[in-house]
Amino acid sequence: MMLFSGGTVVSMDPRIGDLERGDVLVRGDRIVAVGPDLRAHPEAAGATVVDTTGRIVSPGFVDTHRHAWEAQLRRSIPDVTDLAEYVTSTLAGIAPAYTPHDMYVGTRLAALTALDAGITTMTDFSHNSRTAAHSDAAVQALLDTGIRGVHASMGPHFGDWDRQWPADLARLRSAYHGANDGLVTLRLAALATDEIAGPALAYGRDLAAVAHDLGLGVSVDAVFGAPSSAAIVRWAADGLLSADVTLIHATGLDAEAWRAMRDTGTTVSLAPTSDAQIGLETAVPAIDEALAVGIRPGLSIDVEVALASDMFTQMRTLHAIQRMRAVAGAYGTGAVPYRITTRDVLDFATLQGARTNGLAGVTGSLTPGKQADLLVVDGGDVNTMPLNDPIGTLVLGADSRNIETVVVAGRIRKAGGRLVGVDVDELRREVTASRDAIRKAASRG
């Protein structure tokens, strides 16, 4: 039993709200109670008390889409000009050089980085599944880090591979779905259209049938522009969209596509820095379009080869871009612009992220009965003091250095500001060796 006591509690559960001074009681992997003072709670006897005075206790962040295997190459193309350059340099040039060991190293690095930054759930859109061993290595990395990991498996775009996907999903589901006491789950990953890598990876009747037969959710990447809009309308007509399907980016879609997504309950994962920095389609994250039809999206990191690794950056980027567009659009008209709030973007980064990944009943808020995925953030550091508004501090003031404690399913993964059980020097050696080997192999190819 653990009792996180005395801190400002941001529950993200509308029934509980925020507590200026509150407690969170955890038993095993579950949240037992959230309230103003739980020391007299019948189950609090004998609990280890964690003093959170002057701190914020919040749900862990949920990353709904990250290509984790690429982490050794993070920021290798920081000024990438467009999607084509990323596809050519990384998916065509680098990806074929990866061994299963490299998949493990990259995915483990990404997951540890996520945990360090308060991301307790990460969807790994693992689109370099060249062999069954590549997939196994990626899942094993999730298991070894203790993150709540969603392995979304897809075959690679280019190069030689075993063509074992999607048939291998049945084996992966049998071996790993629900592994590590339910921390690891699986999804089918696909692309929206055949423009980038051909029809085999494009979502449609065949891949939808595979997902349905295995009882898996689906994550669809590269959802951009007119071709994707037409595909979405077609999927809706064919009964291939539902709350179990997540469309990633959703940039530059037309009104008919958005109506189809709304009517089918389809979920959306936005990648704010990816859309804006790489310049995907309109380069504007589709937050206004989503909210206009009643879709509250999750947020995601996408590709670390060009982008930031943390959820703080995603929240701030989306917050700033939407408010900029709102004010610019109303400028000179006398209209009052609709601007999202810091609470909105924190909701996207927590509860809506969990819902997007089909995990709303498991994580995303500090709700009794849910898994104990939570953060303790210091509100008295140089960049967070004084603690005036906890939501504003989490979204606009805090960063990874302020996260003292990260808990996943009741297990402490970061304590005293450091990852638990991680030899960073050894990690650095392993990551660097893997990067160097990949570059050498890619240069020969």
Give the mean model confidence (pLDDT) for residues 313-318. Answer: 98
pLDDT exceeds 70 at position 10: yes
Joined together, the tokens standing for residue 174 give 């049998």
DSSP, residue by residue, 339-380? ---HHHHHHHHTHHHHHHTT-TTTSSS--TTSB--EEEEESS
DSSP 88: I
Q: Which helix (H) or strand (E) holds 378?
A: strand 374-378
Per-residue pLDDT band at 335 (split at 50, 70, 90): very high
Nearest to 151 by CA among 160, 168, 159, 91: 168
Domains and CATH numbers, the chain: 2-59+365-419 (2.30.40.10), 61-356 (3.20.20.140)
pLDDT exceeds 90 at position 127: yes
Query: How do residues 157-213 score in pLDDT, each as one tens digit?
Result: 999 999 999 999 999 999 999 988 899 999 999 999 998 878 999 999 999 999 999
| Radius of gyration (C-alpha) of the chain in whole angstroms | 21
CB 296, CB 266: distance < 8 Å: no
Q: Which amino acid is it at 168?
A: D
Q: Which helix (H) or strand (E) holds 221?
A: strand 217-224
Instruction: Please state the pTM of the whole predicted model.
Output: 0.97
Could you give the angle at the alpha carbon of 103 between the alpha carbons of 150 and 432, nearest 5°?
125
Characterise 390 by phi-psi region: left (phi > 0), alpha (psi -120 to 50), beta (else). alpha
DSSP, residue by residue, 390-439? HHHIIIII--GGGEEEEEETTEEEEETTEETT--HHHHHHHHHHHHHHHH
Contacts of 328 (CB under 8 A, 6+ apart): none
CB 107, CB 137: distance < 8 Å: yes
**Helix locations, 146-274, DSSP H:** 169-176, 179-182, 205-214, 225-237, 255-264, 272-273
Nearest to 291 by CA among 244, 232, 352, 243: 352
CB 349, CB 60: distance < 8 Å: no
Q: What is the model's pLDDT at position 329?
A: 94
Nearest to 244 by CA among 288, 274, 273, 213: 213
pLDDT exceeds 90 at position 444: no
Query: How do residues 50-101 score in pLDDT, each as one tens digit?
Result: 999 999 999 999 999 999 999 999 999 999 999 999 999 999 999 999 999 9
**Cα 205–chain centre separation:** 26
Give the mean model confidence (pLDDT) for residues 102-112. Answer: 98
Nearest to 139 by CA among 92, 183, 79: 183
- The whole-angstrom separation of Cα 188 and Cα 64 is 13
Q: What is the model's pLDDT at position 165?
A: 98
Joined together, the tokens standing for residue 264 give 């089918």
* Angle between helical axes of 342-349 and 311-330 (0-180°, round to 10): 140
- The whole-angstrom separation of Cα 55 and Cα 428 is 31
Q: What is the model's pLDDT at position 445?
A: 67
pLDDT exceeds 80 at position 395: yes
Give the mean model confidence (pLDDT) for residues 135-151. Answer: 98
